[in-house]
Amino acid sequence: MKKKEKLELLYCKALEVFARYGYKKATLDDIAGEIGITKPGIYKYVKDKMDLYEKTLSYALLRWQEKVVTAVNREDDIVRKFIVMSQKGYDYLMEDQLLTEVLKKDPTIFPFSTHVVRFREVNNRSLNLIKYILKEGIRQKKFSKVDIGRTSILLYSIYRTFIVEAYVISDAKQIKKIYTDGIQLILNGLIERP
């Protein structure tokens, strides 16, 4: 097995254990047992439990993000790209029960402050995707001319708030309708047009 495959196996099994027990109760022995290696074998890949936790979450978040990017890239129309980005990003967590469980146990993964950045690479990639869609929508004259930097932060903040509300605090299926209505409001605005 190649190193990349071993790392993926480690992260997948670690995600299962962190979802089951949470960070505090999970042990490296639990994770090693899931993989069929000894605890010292894990230290070939990570420094300690916190390092494994952070790398596992980064792996899971990037996997989530990749699903969203793949879905967005299938679309040609920029408005559809925005809708698919928004919907797929939200819906993916309904499919990934392990990541959802970890989020429930550790809501600090998505802090409310945009200045607190725990997973900088993941957040930057998300912001860059939003910026790309906004920039392209403006270029195609499908979106209003807005400050792309500020608007992308606003949209990402709204998204994170709904993720926390839906998957950490409440029921995702109940919140989805509000989220979907919010996407339509963002795209169409409050002001009635003739």
CA distance 101 to 111: 16
| Residue entry with tokens 């995600």 | 15
Q: What is the pLDDT of residue 108?
A: 81
CB 174 within 8 A of CB 162: no
Q: Is the pLDDT of residue 128 over 90?
A: yes
User: Which residues, at least 6 apart from 190, have a Cβ–Cβ distance to it below 8 Å?
Assistant: none
Going from N- to C-terminal start, the domains of the chain cover 58-188
User: Which residues, at least 6 apart from 172, have a Cβ–Cβ distance to it below 8 Å?
Assistant: 93, 94, 100, 166
The structure tokens listed for 189 are 């605005």
Q: Is the pLDDT of residue 116 over 80?
A: no
Distances (CA, A) of 18 to 12, 43, 51, 115, 192: 10, 17, 13, 26, 48
- Range with lowest mean pLDDT among 25-34, 57-66, 152-161, 184-193: 184-193
Give residue 123's identity as a one-letter amino acid code.
Answer: N
Which is more confident, 55 or 110? 55
- In order, the DSSP letters of the chain are --HHHHHHHHHHHHHHHHHHHHHHH--HHHHHHHHTS-HHHHTTT-SSHHHHHHHHHHHHHHHHHHHHHHHHHT--SHHHHHHHHHHHHHHHHHH-HHHHHHHHH-GGGS-S-TT--SSHHHHHHHHHHHHHHHHHHHHTTSS----HHHHHHHHHHHHHHHHIIIIIIS-HHHHHHHHHHHHHHHHH-SS---
- Percent of the chain scoring above 90 in pLDDT: 59
CB 112 within 8 A of CB 161: yes
CA distance 103 to 28: 20
Query: Which CATH architecture does the domain made up of 58-188 adopt?
Result: Orthogonal Bundle (1.10)
Q: What is the pLDDT of residue 111?
A: 67
pLDDT of 147-189, one tens digit each? Answer: 999 999 999 989 888 888 887 777 777 888 888 888 989 998 8
